[in-house]
Structure 1
Amino acid sequence: MLDRSPSIADDKTDWAPRGSHSSLAVVQAGDEPIAPLGTSTPDDETDRKNMSLLIQLRWTAVVGQIVTIAAVHLWLGAPLPVVPMGAVILGLVALNIASLAWMRYRFAISNHDLLVALILDVVALTAQLYLSGGVTNPFTSLYLLQVTLGAVLLDGRSSWSLVAVVFTAIIWLTEASRPLVLPEWAGDPINLRVGGMLLGFALNAVLLVVFVTRIHRNLRERDAHLASLRQHAAEQDHIVRMGLLASGAAHELGTPLASVSVILSDWRRMPALTNNRELAEDLAEMETALKRCQSIVTGILVSAGEARGEGSSPTTVAEFLEALAEEWRSARSRTTLHVVNAFGEDLPIVSDVTLKQAIFNVLDNAFEVSRYWIELLAEREGDNLVLSISDRGPGFPKDMLAQLGKPYQSSKGRAGGGLGLFLVMNVVRKLGGSMTAENLRNRGAKVKLVLPLSTLAIGQNFD
């Protein structure tokens, strides 16, 4: 299935579907995408995911501290201040509950919020170390976990601020802490401390690998989303430029087409021409071709929003399919297109000119490689109208399927080709839908357009 490049732009008619754009907005391809007011940016979503990871790490710390205190106090018999240490654990639990409630009503998570969360974790760790031996406690290595997380999550200034807090806490612990007294039967204190250091190192390494890996995954997802937004902005820039060129060309063509129409009308009234049967047939064919050109020019202007009310009108799903099929058959082939309406209930929708042009584009692509059979299947999937166009051509090359909907992806080998499906993708996306393509098992290809009924409805609720 190959692609052609008709003129498709945004529609600005009185019957424009709900959810469609009414104007073209130029977005420079190199600019950062700007989120509308009230929406979250990729950075906001990433920081929210990272804050959730800090909360999960805090739950891990709560469980780990409970297990460690129980082991040291009950198994080794070391006299620990269980009540104050339990109060610190309860403080971490309360902090986590408050953080979850705060995130539910917080629109965006900032770098400052992450810094405060990490500082509170450092304070809790310092309190527990103060109550259990200070810097001699082998779990002081967990400070490195906080510093590493800060280096990954925070900006440079905040990272150094966290380092300063950790360094201050360690210096304070060297001067003030409650000693950890081990019972005599526990063995050599040095061996116990070495074993504790090994355990602390292992715990530190595992937590670093688990949480830093997940943080990096969040960052990769953010970068991929930003790349997608930049690609979308570049595609919108292509759309705007082509729309402007098409609109300008339509205006320029309007005058000579009108002149040709006047001349043909004059010739129609000349006996020398009308009495000649062959010339009369030629004149009729010229008038038909002229009307076709004028219809194309009008369609371009309607799509660009310069001929309000001429391009869209209320209809139903069945009427829309019948009118679309009849118009395509009259212009291309009477026997090629087979329409199957499996939609079910005939719902009222808007006959949108840009959507019709997009479907024509896919049908034209199929017709170029499958002259004798094309199927247009209409189905309903939930609250979506699904249009599937199948052909019996050679199918899509694998590299084109991987780059579906991107500009200049064509198997025709023409310079500047490959804009047809790119335009279709953008039209469908502006209506809130999606486009996919696949090669059929035996022969041919299928392009599927999924369109939300809510954007095509006329005051209807399809919930």
Structure 2
Amino acid sequence: MTFEATSLDQDSGAAPRTVAARTLAAIRWVALAGQVVTLLIVHVGLGFPLPLALALAIVAASAVLNLTLLRRRPGRDRLNEREAAFYLGFDILQLTALLFVTGGLGNPFALLLLAPVTVSATILTRRSTINLCLAALVCATVLAFAHLPLPWAAEDFQLPAIYTAGLWAALVVALVFNAAYAWWVAEEARRISAALSATQAALARQQRLAAVGALAAAAAHELGSPLSTIAVVARELVRDLPPDSDVAEDARLLLSESQRCRDILASLARRSEPDTHSSFAEVPFDALVEQAAEPHQRDGIAVIIESHGPDGAPISARPPTVRPTPELLHGLGSIVQNAVQFATATVEVTVSWDDTDALSVEVEDDGPGFATSVLSRLGEPYVSTRTGRDGHMGLGVFIARTLLERTGAEVGFANRSDGGARVDVRWSNGIRLETPR
């Protein structure tokens, strides 16, 4: 049994990345301010004779670029990925130049080469991050061999070559690990965000369908009276006019068509009745489960719905009543739909409740079951047990689980010992629903 994506067909990693120009500029201003303060403290406060004019000129070049950025992209403008990568790449070169005139890797602030790569990992794609990481590695390697010396107290003092090699190795490891970890965490957050957006879209679609159903029922009710009047007038015309009259024939046609309209409107009203009252009327819990499962039944697969108490005991309490909201209908319906899709012959739906407001729905099928490789991760976005025909991304179970958890449910996934899959949906403290607005 597998859950398919219902509203998202594009991997979050494929979405174009943009960065707010003001945000990137603010980050760069903070970095430039830190560089100026550090240079002044070391040169003035600690008395190290740094090439201050050259170092400040390097900082000023970055400040000019930042001002150019704000001038070209005022307000809430956003930078595309290539532009953002350019500015971060310039920051790596600017830091390299600054470290070149202040001791190279012997400068404790050489670790700041991590900063542009980390920023890239959190906001840009993997390709851009890899490119910037490689640029930082090249710059670190250059600084290990070429740089102006730090003004140590001992004129002939030099760091041992083995120590410099260790600094370089540590910086390389930190660059790679920090970039990979930051990118992975940020990408996971983006994927979760995209999946939640898909969940909201699915819920919004169900709510729109409910609104359309309510509109259809209202239209059927409002149009019923004028159609009845038309039918009465047409019936009187048919009765009063000679049978062979052309007008009588038109009256009979008008009468039959008005009756047809009334039948269509009555059908619309019946079809939309469950959605029309979904936010207000309450139905027995077992009836709600049947309502959620009914649209997904198909020939060749028997969907058996049973009700009993805990551990198969007879139910003494009457079924609780709940509102058939889109969250419940779509969440439970999606689980039943996928059970039907992968069942061989039978899907068993067991509904139970007790006097303590605890409710549960257990859906079992006789299909191949869940793939053991993903069983522990089912419920996470983009996890699927197979590649779908339509290129789905495994969001269906995430959407169903998220919708049901919004009502206070706990959703569990397992394989049956005799083959097939089982999904348990349990409400320990009753169903929690938001008040309709």
Q: Please state which band the TM-score falls in when normalised by the shorter chain.
A: 0.3 to 0.5
TM-score, normalised to structure 2, is 0.43
TM-score, normalised to structure 1, is 0.41
Q: Which has the higher contact order (CA 8 A, sep 6+)?
A: 1
